[in-house]
Amino acid sequence: MAESENIVAETAEKIFADLADAQTINRDKKGEWKAPLWQALTEAGLPLSWVPEECGGSGASLAEGFSVLGAAGRFAVAVPLAETMLAGWLLAQAKISSPEGEMTIVPASPKDKITLNADGSLSGRARGVPFAKAAKHIAVLASDGKGLSIALVDAVKCRIEAGIGLGGDNSDTVTLDKVQPVTIKPAPKGFDQAQLMLMGGVARSLQIAGALEAMLEISVRYSNERVAFEKKISKFQAVQHNLARLAGESAAALAAATSAADAYANATSFGDELFLEAAAAKIRCSEAAEKGGGIAHQVHGAIGFTNEHILHRYSLRALAWRDDFGSESYWAVELGKLVANRGADELWPLVASR
């Protein structure tokens, strides 16, 4: 990790440690912790990390932004930080300046499409949009049938139906009915919805990997505190075996996510190699979220399922993040299509391309 990445990651870690303590948040039923956390993140320039300075952002590198997302996952942060970062990144592709405040992106699923009408308005419906209710603006990728455009939309002009995801965060349905955007510009040549979804997939992969790191730490600590039959449960072979499995899932997720992030950070163009890295990371991290979350709850027993315990903040969000920007089953199919289209002789060169 470069020195600048260290500084950005350390800044994020300090903010989260000071203002996003899981136990404190768990006890706060009114959500009063959110405003101070968002203000601190904004003052540090983290929500607009991927926005160039000329577009109103911090001008941080992709690698620096990815390090922030990993830290956010380790704290299971329930504010639209990743969504605002992705929205700013999308707007920056068309050199559209990012406004202040929370943002999200539409569509958030590969199957949803937004249409650019002849009069310049936007129409369509997007499901499972994270934190749409909390967003002040929405970055939209739309098609007129001939090409793609990127638009900045005022959230109050959209119809937003509130929904709650598995982790307890907003996962809303956004309907645009001939909405006139604040700004709209053509997307760069070659840019498509798959690139947006895969970028979101890498972000979610890093968050899942971070959450699994936290679940492993929490589970190991609990196993060394909990006493059964007059000895710590960490001394039982079955518990040791489960913790080793959880460590393996956490390590696999972290390796896949950081490999994809590194590929994106150093890429000069989008190609099959990036597709492979991002899709594989989303698939492997999503699988790890399921297996790792189950193991962590097994180690904790009944107490891990209670609302009073912090474990569910990590396990449920990791499971919820599996479906954002395309589930692992969707990307497994798409990755299979890519490999099949290239042919058997091209599989190993593709896998070994990095």
Q: Which helix (H) or strand (E) holds 173?
A: strand 171-179
| Judgement on whether residues 199 and 347 belong to the same structural domain of the protein | yes
Domain that holds residue 31: 1-77
Reply yes or no on whether the pLDDT at 163 is more than 90: yes
Is 216 among the domain residues? yes
Q: Which residue has the tokens 């942060």?
A: 77
**In terms of residues, how long is the chain?**
354
Tokens describing residue 352:
């070994």
pLDDT for the residue 127: 96
Q: Are residues 187 and 282 in the same domain?
A: no
Residue that is last in its domain, among 139, 164, 191: 191
- In single-letter form, the type of residue at position 86 comes to L
- Asked if the structure places residue 247 within a domain, the reply is yes
| Residue 220 included in any domain | yes
- Domain membership flag for residue 93: no
Q: What is the CA radius of gyration of the chain?
A: 20
The CATH number covering residue 170 comes to 2.40.110.10
Which ranges of the chain does DSSP label H, i.e. alpha helix? Answer: 3-19, 22-27, 34-43, 62-74, 81-93, 193-225, 237-266, 272-300, 311-321, 328-342, 347-351
pLDDT reading at 282 higher than 80? yes
94 inside domain: no
Reported as a single tens digit per residue, the pLDDT across 223-251 is 988 888 888 888 889 999 999 999 999 99
Tens digits of residue pLDDT in 1-38: 555 557 888 999 999 999 998 888 888 888 889 999 99
Domain shared by 36 and 143, yes or no: no
Do 184 and 203 lie in one domain? The reply is: no
The Cα 304–Cα 306 span in angstroms is 6
User: Both 347 and 205 in a single domain?
Assistant: yes
Could you tell me the two tokens for 233?
């449960």
Calculate the CA dihedral of residues 183, 184, 188, 190 and round it to 10 degrees. 140
Quick check: is 89 in a domain?
no
Same domain as 209, residue 310:
yes
| CATH code of residue 254 | 1.20.140.10
pLDDT for residue 323 is more than 90: yes
Contacts of 315 (CB under 8 A, 6+ apart): 211, 215, 289, 293, 296, 297, 304
Q: Both 334 and 256 in a single domain?
A: yes
Q: Which of 170, 191, 212 is the last residue of a domain?
A: 191
Question: Has residue 215 got a pLDDT over 90?
Answer: yes
Q: Are residues 231 and 321 in the same domain?
A: yes
Domain count, the chain: 3
Q: Do 22 and 32 have their domain in common? A: yes
- 208 lies in the same domain as 187: no
> Would the pTM count as exceeding 0.85?
yes
Does residue 23 share a domain with residue 129?
A: no
pLDDT value of position 9: 87
- The verdict on 201 and 297 lying in the same domain is yes
